Amino acid sequence: MSALQERSEKPYVASAVAGIAAYLLGYLVTYVWQASHVREMLRGINAVLQFFGGDAIPAWKAVGWLFYNAHFVAFTHPTLGGGSVARNWIASGDAPTLLYIVPVGCLFVAGAAVAHHAGAEDPQTGATHGASVTLGYVFLALVGVFLFTATRGDYTIAPDLVTGVLLAGVVYPAVVGGVGGAIAGVLGED
């Protein structure tokens, strides 16, 4: 059996693994780059929470909100008068705009790697293989929405569920992974 035949027998396993790796790498880059800044932004909120006997919000959860912000997904938090408001730290200027390239870069590379691994030799096939990183990415995007939820008493801060799954989990990997795969397919043409 040729190497190309072996690669094409389980293409979705490689796609799911690449999608999971892209999500985890994107979160890791965001954490390493912004964790200290996020801790600083949480300092006042955490002081108030702890003063009233509550638990501080851990930086790793708030970095998750920022990671979703890099996908144009807002997180919601309660307001003093009741209700909630959507917030994006990057769009509001509280975090670097360059964070928007973190998920794009990770997904582009993942899509290109999957298409190359599958032996794509044209842009259409490459795009199809590249977009398939959605399989793993959407799973972690859904898990992340719940994992990055912080509940303190009656108040909850969390990435928006609908856009967290649809925009971050489906649209981003399908489009960006597909573009990466298409380019890999062009480069794979003989």
Residuewise pLDDT in 10s, the chain (190 residues): 344 444 555 678 999 999 999 999 999 999 999 999 999 988 888 787 777 777 888 999 999 999 999 999 999 887 777 788 899 999 999 999 999 999 999 999 999 999 999 999 999 999 999 999 999 999 999 999 999 999 887 788 899 999 999 999 999 999 999 999 999 999 876 5
CA distance 27 to 69: 11
In a domain, 97, yes or no: yes
- Per the structure, the complete domain to which residue 25 belongs is given by 11-188
Indicate whether 4 belongs to any domain. Answer: no
**Are the CB atoms for 131 and 173 separated by under 8 Å?**
yes
**CA pair distance 10, 40, nearest whole angstrom:** 45
Q: Is residue 3 part of a domain?
A: no
Total domains in the fold of the chain: 1
Is 53 domain-assigned? yes
How much is the pTM? 0.90
- Residue 36 is assigned to a structural domain of this protein: yes
Tell me what pLDDT residue 47 has. 82
